[in-house]
Amino acid sequence: MDTLKAFAMGEANRGKELMVFDWDKAAKRIAEVHPVIASAGLKSDWEWTGGEIFRDGEPVMDEYTYLASTWATPELDMDGEVEPCYRMQSEVPEWSYDTKWPYSALKILAAENVQNE
């Protein structure tokens, strides 16, 4: 999506609650599916917002992502299979566009790894 369109969408949705990427759901789905690579991004804007979040069995902490929007749905891509993956910010007020693997999600991954060994 070009910058002008993104700005217009942002203006049209000003004041609406943010959808933020659901790290806990992503951790659960990654533990279930066991993808080689998982990425996260905003629907229709992956080029500017998306990045790898899981690779070779480990969370990726240093890849850029921007994972909150009032209009673009945060998504999880596991080996090419994409699904919506978000919560409303009022449910997780400590999470925002720059949240990366909060403790609760890392705990889910760790618990699932122990169960699968």
Note whether residue 61 is domain-resident: yes
For residue range 65-76, list pLDDT tens digits in order. 999 999 999 999
Q: How many domains does the chain have?
A: 1
**Does the structure show a pLDDT above 70 at 14?**
no
Note whether residue 35 is domain-resident: yes
State the pLDDT confidence band at 15, using cuts at 50, 70 and 90: confident
State the pLDDT confidence band at 117, using cuts at 50, 70 and 90: very low
- Helices 103-116 and 23-33: crossing angle, nearest 10°? 20
- The proportion of the chain whose per-residue pLDDT surpasses 70, expressed as a percent, equals 84
> Domain range for residue 75?
18-108
Number of C-beta neighbours around residue 51 at 10 A: 16
Note whether residue 37 is domain-resident: yes
Q: In what order do the strands lie in the sheet with 37-42?
A: 58-59, 51-55, 37-42, 74-78, 81-84
What is the reported pTM? 0.84
State the pLDDT confidence band at 114, using cuts at 50, 70 and 90: very low
